Chain A
């Protein structure tokens, strides 16, 4: 009995905060998705049932956002994990500069997304333009943020720059958890570096893969701060991701009900995809 009291005391503050900040707004949000309202308390809330959900499937801008977000997620998923893995292998291979390299590769993650976006915005617009004009390589160095495709690539670059260090740290922990005798035994048996990498390190890194894939998948799907500061959805709303589309629907147009319905759909999609991914990769984890 006494133990339960202690458990409750430990968990109560966190549970309280979680309920008020996450659970209650979520439930209220579900209720809001069935009404039509413009956000001013003095104006009426009109119950419209599932009309919002039907409307959002014919909203061209929303569907375009969904497509762009999926594309962005795929690209950044690959970029973040490949680079993170490469960095972690490099840093654990015993080079003299390992420690400082690890610190510097992780530092971009410490800078807030908003500031990161503004810095890179300057680089992609003014700095690139200047380099293009002085060196004449204007096929590559032009204002990336004015072209829809290049703006998307710019977003991938900034997101990768921010997240690669984070995944690197997780992979490092995973690599360092691999017992040396297994690797040594493999080396004695004649396995070359590539075989050691793919046959031994990767399967034993599966838990790290699970975590990193999950983090980068959900992070990329939900991206907003970098999106806002780098491109603000431009040019011509061509890099407007899911979260930004919902935000603009609610606060730009004042369609609270429709925006909330979009948010619920967004939640379902992200939950579905990430849960699927976790289940799939967890199955492939090898227990030592």
Chain B
């Protein structure tokens, strides 16, 4: 009996060791006959999550190769991406922004310069590091004030005074004139881009800001920006009480007249079906600005540190995405991107993307200076400062600017 028991224990121990060994095996991208390895996609745009998964399934149906889409997480994307990449469990394809974000991860990009579709990327839009093309832009995006055409006439919103008057009149009617949302980019990230973009040389201004040579509190665009924020805090619903879903929901149901959003938000509006009003995008009228901010948000990049079979399968997927009919159709009609490739035609654009496209064609745009912010500063430092401003009615605009300067100096240390 004792011997039998000991045998049982021995078997149990062996089983545990085998389990440990098997669990450490992980995902093996073994290539089957004719089929490419399984790849994974991890990207930052929550607005296209569902459409991307549907596209992945279509790809598998058309080519038989498997694609796994990992869930996107909004503000915490970079954190998760870094954790996965440094643990050598990175995705085969991921998305990365421009500027400092791209610089940080540059050791992970696979060189795409020789891919067939690279020559079709619109000029100066591809992500390049050290002269090599490493990323294909999602598309052209723009943001500004998305407004309800029934409630707002763009001619009425041209500067600070008219903007404030508009907010006040809506508050008197019991509606919300203007809505930001509590998430970092939608609270301060996008709207703060405008004062930067209006500088004669935004990149140079940011470098001077980093070295402490200039201060936001002493620059006139920012001073007027602070007065805009004071007006928003006073006459609009507190953005800390609004989430992204609520922001778009209230806009779609006519409770909010204007939201500070981009053409990507069309996807959420479309979910509400036929709205009984028309909407468009107008510029944020800081210092009389009359241009919307247009830039490229993210790029598709291939993980250069993945296994060779994965890289090959990833290249095949991207090639399919940019050259096949299904892929091109998905980019324009499912993801609702304004394409950055000359081979993809922009037709039947939704009203917001149309506004962005028209602005791009005519050149009436201001750049995305936020691409050159120090990495992570929007989520780590600017957002808490903005939260403090909106939760503390006693904080003046000037104090807010001083706080921004303070956290900026802290972040570049």
Residues in A lying within 8 Å of B, measured CB to CB: 6, 9-10, 12-13, 16-17, 38-43, 129, 143, 146, 234-237, 248, 251-254
A41 touches B107 (CB 8 A): yes
**Does residue B17 face the partner (Cβ distance < 8 Å to A)?**
yes
Residues of A close to B108: CB separation below 8 A: 40
B376 touches A13 (CB 8 A): no
A143 touches B241 (CB 8 A): yes
Q: Do A40 and B104 contact each other (CB < 8 Å), given the known contacts A248-B380, A254-B376?
A: yes
A251 touches B82 (CB 8 A): yes
Shortest distance between the CB of A58 and any CB in chain B (Å): 12
B107 touches A13 (CB 8 A): no
A-B pairs, 6 with minimum CB distance: A42-B107, A251-B79, A236-B388, A236-B387, A13-B16, A252-B380
Which one, B5-13, B216-224, B228-236, B280-288, is touching chain A? B5-13
B104 touches A235 (CB 8 A): no
Shortest distance between the CB of A16 and any CB in chain B (Å): 8
Distance in angstroms between the alpha carbons of A237 and B387 in the assembled complex: 9
Shortest distance between the CB of A162 and any CB in chain B (Å): 23
B384 touches A39 (CB 8 A): no
Shortest distance between the CB of B380 and any CB in chain A (Å): 5
A146 touches B241 (CB 8 A): yes
Distance in angstroms between the alpha carbons of A40 and B105 in the assembled complex: 7
Closest to B386 in A: A236
Closest to A60 in B: B410
B376 touches A236 (CB 8 A): no
Taking A235-B240, A254-B104 as given, write out 11 further A-B residue pairs in contact, using a Cβ cutoff of 8 Å, ordered by the A residue number: A10-B9, A13-B17, A16-B20, A40-B107, A42-B107, A43-B107, A234-B387, A252-B79, A252-B379, A253-B376, A254-B82
**Does residue B54 face the partner (Cβ distance < 8 Å to A)?**
no
A235 touches B391 (CB 8 A): yes
Q: Do A40 and B86 contact each other (CB < 8 Å), given the known contacts A146-B241, A252-B379?
A: yes
**Does residue B203 face the partner (Cβ distance < 8 Å to A)?**
no
Closest to A17 in B: B20
Distance in angstroms between the alpha carbons of A6 and B13 in the assembled complex: 11
A9 touches B86 (CB 8 A): no
**Does residue B375 face the partner (Cβ distance < 8 Å to A)?**
yes
A12 touches B391 (CB 8 A): no
Distance in angstroms between the alpha carbons of A234 and B390 in the assembled complex: 13
A253 touches B380 (CB 8 A): yes
A39 touches B240 (CB 8 A): no
Could you tell me which residues of chain B, from 63 to 84, have a CB within 8 Å of some CB in chain A? 79, 82-83
Shortest distance between the CB of B11 and any CB in chain A (Å): 11
Distance in angstroms between the alpha carbons of A253 and B79 in the assembled complex: 9
Q: CB within 8 A of A9: which of B10, B380, B384, B387?
A: B10
A39 touches B6 (CB 8 A): no
Residues of B close to A234: CB separation below 8 A: 384, 387
B86 touches A41 (CB 8 A): yes
Q: CB within 8 A of A39: which of B17, B82, B241?
A: B82
Shortest distance between the CB of A50 and any CB in chain B (Å): 18
